[in-house]
Amino acid sequence: MTDRYIYAIATMDTKGAEICFIADQLQRAGLKVKTVDVGTATDAQKKPDVSREIIASHHAKGTAYVLGQKDRGLAVEVMGEALRSFLLQENAEERIAGVIGVGGSGGTSLISKAMRALPIGLPKMLVSTVASGNTQPYIDCSDITMMYSVVDVAGLNDVSKVILGNAAHAIGGMVQNYSAPEDGGQAIGLTMFGVTTPCVDAVRKELESAGNDGLVFHATGTGGRAMESLVNSGYINRVLDITTTEVADEVVGGVFPCGEHRFDSIINKQVPCVMSLGALDMVNFGSKESVPAKFQDRNLYVHNPEVTLMRTNIEENTNIAEWMAKKINQTNAPFTLVIPEGGVSVIDAPGQVFHDPEANDALFKTLEDLIEQKENRNIVRSPHNINAPEFASLLLTELDNVTGH
């Protein structure tokens, strides 16, 4: 195996002294370090171990394209893309023990873009001037640890030396004490929403009673992507994607969208999957006043003062099914879609506020029409509501079928 290094990253045209201070602290602790320059304006203040030219060469459009950008925003974006490609290659070749970066708003955006692509569990630390505000755009559903710089990252002083030193020793501790998943990625991923909790709880308890590790993800936009990041990182090797509600928000325009890459990790890693249609009867918004004007006359249900649900209609369910079928047809791993004819949520049942058999039929029929069924890609119908005990039992049976147990 090649030597493993902590990669210390900064725009070294302005943050050279700071990142070299961190590298020195790590080296004093007996750790191997490589400084990486991702500057987009001028040459580094101090000579890096990995130059910005090397990083830029990893962009699909080449070094000149990255370093030739005149617009600062675009320069940061494309350098982030180049850094992402560089780190993924280095990690694939097992050279990375951990990653630490420092930056202002631009550097934070650039470096975090690359860090997010690295596997969950690989130590990642980012010292930033924006770490005390909204960090969601930088962290998303990754496990980046952010530390507020307190003072600007603009030279070394009594305060910055303490902050940067703490950050260096934090990443050093992570690296020295890192351990891979004990079970070698044998966990099962499950997606859940409040209105599918009875189903998922029943399934999880059965899995755990049989000695399985069931990891539950709340389907609020980041939940599905977090699950897939663990699939990508090798922690999860089977998926019960029971609650695919984030697709409804993606297609219709709710506040919990799944993102265009939902299901891609499951597909690419060829993970056995049992999928259902949990909470696809609803699109999520904030308070009732926040619901877009074009939806104000729809079937709205105020879940709480901060969450308003909108019942999906026939057209929307058709579009949702088309979006899902296009993805599902790309999978070559064992796959089963289980359709709950009795309703896809607690409030989609006879007498409940979102009960709409015609809208559901549009979803079910379109999926059946468009999904290309074959030996290891199947659709199974159940007459029960998704939260019925019989449906939970069927999901477990189908999981055994797709995994060959």
Q: Which residues pair with 308 in a beta bridge?
A: 285, 302
d(CA 363, CA 358): 9
Contacts 24+ apart (CB under 8 A), 202-209: 202/389, 202/392, 203/240, 203/242, 203/392, 203/395, 203/396, 206/392, 206/396, 207/396
At 9, is the pLDDT very low, low, confident or very high (cuts 50, 70, 90)? very high
Exposed / middle / buried, residue 306 (Cβ in 10 Å: 0-12, 13-18, 19+)? exposed
What is residue 259's predicted lDDT score, i.e. its pLDDT?
A: 93
What is residue 1's predicted lDDT score, i.e. its pLDDT?
A: 45
User: 340-375 pLDDT, tens per residue?
Assistant: 999 999 999 999 999 999 999 999 999 999 999 999
List phi, psi (to 5°) of 115.
-60, -40
233, 268 contact by CB (below 8 A): no
263, 333 contact by CB (below 8 A): no
Dump the DSSP string for 181-247: -TTSS-EEEEEE-GGGHHHHHHHHHHHHHTT--EEEEE-SSSHHHHHHHHHHTTSEEEEEE---THH
Which pair of tokens denotes residue 267?
Answer: 């597909």
The pairing of strands 145-148 and 124-128 is parallel
Q: Which residues pair with 96 in a beta bridge?
A: 5
Span 233-261, average pLDDT: 96
d(CA 357, CA 340): 11
Q: Which residue has the tokens 């019989």?
A: 390
Span 165-179, average pLDDT: 94
d(CA 194, CA 108): 34
The answer for residues whose C-beta is within 8 angstroms of residue 268's C-beta and 6 or more apart is 232
Q: Within 13 Å and on the Cβ side, how many CA atoms surround 104?
A: 13
pLDDT above 90 as % of the chain: 89
At 267, is the pLDDT very low, low, confident or very high (cuts 50, 70, 90)? very high
What is residue 181's predicted lDDT score, i.e. its pLDDT?
A: 63
Which pair of tokens denotes residue 271?
Answer: 């993970």
**Exposure b/e, 96-105, CB count within 10 A at least 16 = b:** bbbbbbbbbe
Query: What SS3 class is residue 19?
Result: helix
d(CA 225, CA 375): 28
Q: Which residue has the tokens 């000579």?
A: 47
Query: What SS3 class is residue 381?
Result: strand
d(CA 192, CA 278): 8
**Exposure b/e, 206-230, CB count within 10 A at least 16 = b:** bbeeeeeebebbbbbbbbbbbbbbb
pLDDT above 70 as % of the chain: 98
User: 176-228 pLDDT, tens per residue?
Assistant: 998 766 655 679 999 999 999 999 999 999 999 999 999 999 999 999 999 99
Span 38-43, average pLDDT: 86
At 21, is the pLDDT very low, low, confident or very high (cuts 50, 70, 90)? very high
Span 234-253, average pLDDT: 96
Task: Check pLDDT > 80 for residue 244.
Answer: yes
98, 128 contact by CB (below 8 A): no
Which pair of tokens denotes residue 303?
Answer: 């879940």
Q: Which of 353, 237, 220 is nearest to 298 (CA)?
A: 353
Question: For the chain, what is the mean pLDDT?
Answer: 94
In 10 A of CB 132, how many CB atoms? 12
Domains of the chain in start order, with CATH, are 5-176 (3.40.50.12020), 187-403 (3.40.50.12030)
Task: Check pLDDT > 90 for residue 391.
Answer: yes
The answer for residues whose C-beta is within 8 angstroms of residue 297's C-beta and 6 or more apart is none
Task: Check pLDDT > 90 for residue 154.
Answer: no
Distance of CA 207 to the CA centre of its chain: 24
Which pair of tokens denotes residue 300?
Answer: 């709205």
Question: Residue type for 177, please?
Answer: N
> pTM score, two decimals?
0.81
Span 304-326, average pLDDT: 97
User: 118-150 pLDDT, tens per residue?
Assistant: 999 999 999 999 999 889 899 998 999 999 999
